[in-house]
């Protein structure tokens, strides 16, 4: 029997007995979202690159393919996943990367995971394989159920295969650093982002704004000349962006609960005591709450006031409210979507919100 028919059998059985399933690849993102509970549906066996056409800018991979394998195959042809997904561990898989929907330092410039999803094959609660989207850049036939899977935390069912748009690696990349306070750094990086500069990543921490410029060599050189600042050497720059992407940077080493605030890039500096860091031109801010301080209400209110949301990314109460609560209207839509696609609520139940 193929891995796929085994999976289908397991899903059908779980659906029949209403047993919650934990969709799991390499387990590198077990910490993301609310704590998983249920029987593990191990997706590692459904692995491999199905098709890769560098000149079509499309790769199709099975969910259990490791992210590192996919990235190596792309790099061998001078291409990459331009949204720079974090792996959070060597066993990270492609399916988990899409389901978690997390993008790395390039997010503000390149786009999110969902911006690169072209199509998926997934399994419904009856074990039937459904296909949405495709392997082409432009496709408006039917509702876009493929992009909906990015960041869905598996609650709509396991992604079996995903087709992703890939891009050429940038020719050149240079990181410049500027000594600036947080407020100055926020306004400066927004002003620069409104100019036609090849900014591919930004990071502010501890009085220093780091700006990565990537693209054609000529464009990068011209931007470096016009912006000034101190140039970070290539190895240190690579280590900096990798460290932030994988959260190995020293900011992320603290034991305290880690909050992620996703806000408009121009939102002011938040009145939050303690160490903080921002990325994505100001649109992604990280903050550690003091151990024992239940900051949930406060952080959520701060993010909501400016039109954003806050996630308890690591630590704290993983059985509690990890993601910002939904508005009643949006919550109703979530529950109806869940119930139409997974009526017995077996797929990753409670991983995103407690009831579904």
Phi, psi of 324 (to 5 degrees): -55, 130
By CB under 8 A, is residue 45 in contact with another protein? Answer: no
177 counts as binding another protein under rule CB under 8 A: no
CB of 312 to another protein, least distance (A): 11
Rounded to whole angstroms, the Cα distance separating 93 from 26 reads 6
Q: Is 298 in the site for another protein (CB under 8 A)?
A: no
Q: Tokens 């996943």 identify what position?
A: 81
Minimum CB distance to another protein, residue 236 (Å): 26
Residue among 155 and 277 whose Cβ is closer to another protein: 155
Q: Is 228 in the site for another protein (CB under 8 A)?
A: no
User: Collapsing DSSP states into helix, strand and coil, what is residue 23?
Assistant: strand
Summarize the chain as % helix, strand, coil (round to 5): 30, 25, 45
From 157, 162, 161, 147, select the one nearest 123 (Cα to Cα). Answer: 157
- With contacts defined by CB under 8 A, name the span among 67-75, 90-98, 248-256, 329-337 that binds another protein: 329-337
Q: How far is the CB of 72 from another protein (least distance, A)?
A: 18
Nearest 5 degrees, angle CA 313-CA 318-CA 322?
Answer: 55
Helix (H, G, I), strand (E, B) or coil at 21: strand
The interface mask with another protein, positions 236-275, x = CB under 8 A, is --------------------------xxxxx---------
User: Is the CB of 191 or the CB of 235 nearer to another protein?
Assistant: 191
* Contact with another protein (CB under 8 A) among 9, 53, 206, 230: 53
Question: CA 94 to CA 62: how far, in whole Å?
Answer: 7
The answer to whether 43 and 25 have CB atoms below 8 angstroms apart is: yes
Per-residue contact flags (x/-) with another protein for residues 3 to 32, judged by CB under 8 A: xxx---------------------------
Taking only Cα atoms into account, the Rg of the chain, rounded to an integer number of angstroms, comes to: 21
Taking the least distance from each CB to another protein, the nearer of 218 and 291 is 218
Q: Using CB under 8 A, which residues numbered 76 to 135 contact another protein?
A: 78, 101, 107-108, 111-112, 114-115, 124, 128, 130-132, 134-135
């Amino acid at each position: 029997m193929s891995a796929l028919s085994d999976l289908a059998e397991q899903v059908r059985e779980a659906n029949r007995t209403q047993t919650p399933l934990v969709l799991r690849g390499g387990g590198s993102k077990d910490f993301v979202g609310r704590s998983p509970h249920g029987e593990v549906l191990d997706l590692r066996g459904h692995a491999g690159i199905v098709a890769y056409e560098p000149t079509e800018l499309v790769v199709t991979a099975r969910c259990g393919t490791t992210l590192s394998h996919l990235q190596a195959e792309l790099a061998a042809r001078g291409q990459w996943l331009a949204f720079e997904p974090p792996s959070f561990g060597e066993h990270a898989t492609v399916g988990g990367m899409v389901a978690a929907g997390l993008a790395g330092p390039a997010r503000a410039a390149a786009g999110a995971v969902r911006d690169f999803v072209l199509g998926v094959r997934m399994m419904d609660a009856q074990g039937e394989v459904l296909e949405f989207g495709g392997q082409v850049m432009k496709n408006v036939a039917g509702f876009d159920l493929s992009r909906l899977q990015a960041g869905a935390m598996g609650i709509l069912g396991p992604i079996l295969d995903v087709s992703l748009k890939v891009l050429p690696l940038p020719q050149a990349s240079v990181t410049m650093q500027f000594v600036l306070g947080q407020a100055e750094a926020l306004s400066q990086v927004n002003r620069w982002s409104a100019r036609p500069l090849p900014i591919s990543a930004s990071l502010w921490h501890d009085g220093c704004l780091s700006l990565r410029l990537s693209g054609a060599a000529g464009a990068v050189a011209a931007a470096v000349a016009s912006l000034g600042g101190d140039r970070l050497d290539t190895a240190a720059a690579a280590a900096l962006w990798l460290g932030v992407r994988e959260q190995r940077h020293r900011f992320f080493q603290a034991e305290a609960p880690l909050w992620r605030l996703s806000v408009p890039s121009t939102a002011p500096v938040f009145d939050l005591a303690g160490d903080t860091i921002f990325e994505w031109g100001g649109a992604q801010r990280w903050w550690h709450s003091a151990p024992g301080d239940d900051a949930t209400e406060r952080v959520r209110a701060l993010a909501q006031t400016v039109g954003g949301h806050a996630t308890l990314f690591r630590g704290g109460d993983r059985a509690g409210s990890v993601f910002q609560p939904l508005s009643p209207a949006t919550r109703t839509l979530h529950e109806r979507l869940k119930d139409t696609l997974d009526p017995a609520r077996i797929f990753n139940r409670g991983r995103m919100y407690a009831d579904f």
